[in-house]
Each structure stands twice: as C-alpha cells, then as structure tokens.
Amino acid sequence: MTQTRVFEHRTLLAHPRETVWGWMAGPGALQRMNPPFASELVSGPTDGLAVGSETRLRIAAPGGAGLFADTADGFLKGTLPAGLARRIPAAATPKVPWTARHTAYEDGRMFRDEMVSGPLAAWTHTHLFEDAAPGEADAPDGRPGTVVLDRVEYALPAQSLLSRVPGVGAAAAGKAHELFEAELRRQFAYRGRVLAEDLDFHAAHPGPLTGGPRRTVAVTGAGGMIGTQLCALLTSGGHRVIRLVRDPQAVTGEDTALWDPLRGTVDVEALRAADVVVNLAGEPIAGRFTPEHKEAVHASRVQGTRTLVQAIAALDPAGRPDLVNGSAVGWYGADAGTGPYGSGLVEDLPAGDDFLAEVVSDWEAEAVAAEALGVRVARVRIGVVLSPAGGMLQRMLPLFLLGVGGPMATAGGQSHDGSPWISWIGLDDIVGILAHAVLDDAVSGAYNGTAPEPVTAKEFARTLGSVLRRPAVLPVPSFGPRLLLGAEGAAETVEADQKAVAEKILATGYEMRAPALEGALRHVLGR
C-alpha cells in the first residue's frame, strides 16, 4: 500500500473570499498560476472547477537539472530552422506528461484535483478557502481577507521500496521528500504571488470580478508567450477574449475567429463585438537576417496591422474598437544607447535607421492611421521580456546553469561599465502594461514597455549569476551569436544598446510588479 505524506502551503490575501474564488474559477487562473520554471499547461481545465474537469500539463524535473534540460530544449528548437525543429519527436523533450481530474467541489469553499497519470505514485491536491481572522488581512472595503490553504497528499515513485533498503533507505527517502517539498514551496510561492498581484491589478481596474463593466477584447498573437498570459489575465478578471487565429481548424467556438493578415482578411463580426483589439502578431525576430526572414518579419507586422485598421475603418464609427498595438524598443535603433541627453530613451525620440527600427516605424505608422478614425490607439514598445519559456533569458540559461555564462563580448556601449544597456521587463509586467492599456481609456500614444531600472549587460550577467548561484565572469564570444544570427541579426538583437525609460507608463498609474532585476529573475526562476 502506498504511504502518502502531506504538504501544506498557506496564502494570505487582502481580498474578500468571493473575489478570490471568482478569480480562481475564471478560465485563465491556472494559466496565470502555472510556474514557467516547472511546468507547461497543455490543455484544460475542460470544465472549470467542476467535478470531472481535466487538465493536462507537461512537468519539468525539479531544480536546476530540470530548468537546464527545458531551456536547452527551448533554445535548440528556437534556433533550428522551423522545419527541422518540428521533426524533433515529442518523446525527446525533457518534460513528462501529467493529467489531473477534479474530484470534489464545494462552491466558494473548496475544490480538489487528483493525478490520473503522471510521474508520482500519488497526488491529491485540496484547495481550501476561508475568511481570514479579523485584522489579519482585511480587504480595502473592510471585509475579511482570505486564507487559501493548499493541502497536498503525495507519494513519490518507489518511496516504499526505497525506505526498506537497510542502512541508507530511510535516510535516502527522507532526503527525497526534503528536496521534493522544497520544489513544492518554490512553486506555491510563485502561485501565491501571482494570485495576490493579479487580484491587486483587478481591484485597480474594475471589471466583472470586482463589480465593474465587462470588456470584450480581440487578440492577435494570442498563442505567443505574451499573448497567452494576456488572455489569461483578462479572462481571470471576467473579461471576454476573442482569439484571432490564422488556422481555420483552430476556430472552435464564439471566442475564436479567423483572420489572415497577409491576405488582408479578418472576421469582421469579431471586431464588431470587440471593445478593444490587441495586436501582438508577428513573425519571430530571432533567426538569421536573410532577405526572406527580414521580409517575413516586416510583412507580418505591417500588413497585419494594416488589415486590422482597414477592417476597423469599415465598421460603424460608433462601434469601432480601440487598438492596443504591440511595438518594440527597436524603434530607437540598435545603437541608441542612452539617447541624446544621456538620461534614457523617451517616447518622443525619432526612430533609428537600422532594419528593426524601420520595421517598428512602419508598424507603428499603420497603427497610428486608426487615430484618424476616432479610435484610441496605444503603442507599447516592448523591451527584453524575461521568462524561461522563451526569449533572451531562455537562450542564456543553459550556459549560466553550466557555470560558463557571462556578458556578451561586444565593442561596448554608453554605460558606466562600457557594456550595452538592456531594457528588460518581466513577463507579468509586460502583460500587466498591455492589460492596463486595454482597460484604461486614458492610455493612448507610445509607451515604453520596460522596467524602470534598465541595466547594462555586465550587470545583467552578474545578477543572473547571483540568482542562479553560478559564476558569471566569462564573456560570451561575439562569434557565437553572429554564427547563429549573422552579423546584422546579432548586432540588432543580442548586441543592441538601448536604455529605454518607463516614466511615461508609470505616470498613467500602472504599478510595476517587479521594478528591479533581481526580484524579477527570482520570481520567474522560482529562486
């Protein structure tokens, strides 16, 4: 008979229980709470919190070994040509499948899920919701806050056999439990922080969850790293999201609709239903800057935005949705440094003159054309987004985890230590800024989607090494990125020198979740 152990984690929230429960019952809650350093949500929940609802995940091995294997796999697939990457069999990926089923439910108080298949011998997770004690965590309106108690009963694989090995078995089993529960603490700390910060966000942007109006938001690029989390944040707050997809087979109901940006077609009814359109679609920039790749990067953004604006123009003026358009700090040019005044790149500076600056300039021009239609347009110039699930951080992690990471060896920048500036931002914050632009009608014009404390490449490497407890002194030879991306691609991406500042978006009332680099890295890496 399998012997189970019990792990418990308590989260205290300054929000009433009905609000916390409403967030948890929203369709985006699990996506928001899923730690990117530990697992990937594949599908579900199929029926919310109801008994019988199922969720499928892919789970990484715990600790640094799992993070290394997962990020190395992501780096490889992101670097290889798309056709070759698709040929890597699913069995070769470092994560293992996990299926859980909801087995108990009591409205407003508890629900339970159990592992149906996965790497453990047993797993039963009970989520309990209770009012906090008076004065312990009162909500702003004076009502009691909420205590969320996560109670996990689990058994590790082969633990009963291991514990019977004479001499060392009990000690080995105890160490295995110690390591496993350390991993659980990392994951539940991440979940609790996201839950608390999302609830704070929704309290500051009233929607159905907090007694405010519901908005309908159409999103392109909804399946990307940023788009997936944006949709989850909006739906967990009670808003409706319509995902605009390019594959007809992906149109599965009223909350998905078809568009083809390069052919200039979009489901007009989806736009007519929307209060706001968020445009995040675009060919990934990473790759060698061949003529074909550069054309795909340019066309996917420029023609896609033009398609949306032309479709919006055809609608009745009284029913035209606002537009929140993705953009990039590439606007300023790869060698912009600190800008002409030395204090940082601000939004009213002109565009640079390299390839990516041209792409962003043309991209924003298409979006700005909607202003002539009476449409509110917000353009968010996104910086280097931090997540182990993709982007620059994913590409850097394998080297740092091996202890051979360090700053890029470049010709230097305008910073105090001679290395280029990096305008970074945590994934939760760029998602929050985009959602803020969706829900706050006063947000219009261009905004830097970056953290308030940009750092140099040397500072970034030192901080990442400290968070991972690894050395970070070996410069990464510039021939590596240039071999993968070509001279132009490397110069405009990994070697870019841009110190974009965030004062303008902060002045609109957005509150950064992770304003400093170390805190942002510790959050996304579970450290």
Q: How many CB atoms lie within 10 A of CB 402?
A: 12
Q: Which helix (H) or strand (E) holds 98?
A: strand 96-106
Q: What is the pLDDT of residue 318?
A: 92
- Residue 325: inside a domain: yes
- Residue 46: inside a domain: yes
Answer for the pair 55, 123: CB distance below 8 angstroms, yes or no: no
Looking at the structure, tell me whether residues 139 and 255 fall in a common domain: no
Provide the pairing of β-strand 455-456 with 39-43. unpaired
> pLDDT digit string (tens) for 488-525?
656 656 778 999 999 999 999 999 999 999 999 999 99
Q: How many CB atoms lie within 10 A of CB 161?
A: 10
Burial class (CB in 10 A: 0-12, 13-18, 19+), 345: buried
CA distances to 43, 112, 117, 164, 176 from 120, rounded to whole Å, are 20, 17, 8, 18, 12
Given 204, 232, 256, which residue is the final one in a domain?
204
Residue 71: φ, ψ to 5°: -70, -35
Query: Which DSSP letter does residue 96 get?
Result: E
User: What is the domain extent for residue 328?
Assistant: 208-525
Looking at the structure, tell me whether residues 383 and 512 fall in a common domain: yes
- Residue 82: inside a domain: no
The length of the chain, given as a count of residues: 527
Look at residues 71, 434, 515 and name the one whose alpha carbon lies nearest to residue 232.
434
Q: How far apart are CA 274 and CA 95, in angstroms?
A: 37
Looking at the structure, tell me whether residues 140 and 248 fall in a common domain: no
Q: What is the pLDDT of residue 75?
A: 66
Looking at the structure, tell me whether residues 280 and 153 fall in a common domain: no
What tokens appear for 51 in the block?
């008994």
Answer for the pair 244, 219: CB distance below 8 angstroms, yes or no: yes
- Residue 454: inside a domain: yes
Answer for the pair 488, 497: CB distance below 8 angstroms, yes or no: no
Look at residues 12, 66, 59 and name the one whose alpha carbon lies nearest to residue 39.
59
Looking at the structure, tell me whether residues 233 and 336 fall in a common domain: yes
Looking at the structure, tell me whether residues 198 and 215 fall in a common domain: no
- Residue 85: inside a domain: no
Q: Provide the domain count of the chain.
A: 2
What tokens appear for 142 in the block?
């004076």
- Residue 453: inside a domain: yes
CA distances to 25, 114, 244, 266 from 254, rounded to whole Å, are 20, 31, 11, 15
Look at residues 491, 517, 318, 343 and name the one whose alpha carbon lies nearest to residue 425.
517
- Residue 241: inside a domain: yes
What tokens appear for 353 in the block?
């003159």
Q: How far apart are CA 479 and CA 451, in angstroms?
A: 29
Q: What is the pLDDT of residue 476?
A: 67
> pLDDT digit string (tens) for 91-145?
445 789 999 999 999 999 999 999 999 999 999 999 999 999 988 888 888 889 9
Q: How far apart are CA 259 and CA 267, in angstroms?
A: 6
Given 204, 220, 251, which residue is the final one in a domain?
204
Given 204, 222, 238, which residue is the final one in a domain?
204
Looking at the structure, tell me whether residues 249 and 166 fall in a common domain: no
Looking at the structure, tell me whether residues 109 and 236 fall in a common domain: no
Query: Which DSSP letter does residue 349 get?
Result: S
Answer for the pair 259, 220: CB distance below 8 angstroms, yes or no: yes
Looking at the structure, tell me whether residues 222 and 157 fall in a common domain: no
CATH number at residue 26: 3.30.530.20
Q: What is the pLDDT of residue 91?
A: 45
Answer for the pair 49, 89: CB distance below 8 angstroms, yes or no: no
- Residue 297: inside a domain: yes
Looking at the structure, tell me whether residues 169 and 272 fall in a common domain: no
Looking at the structure, tell me whether residues 236 and 142 fall in a common domain: no
Looking at the structure, tell me whether residues 150 and 197 fall in a common domain: yes
CATH number at residue 244: 3.40.50.720
Residue segments in the chain with a per-residue pLDDT below the cut of 50: 90-92, 161, 164, 168, 411
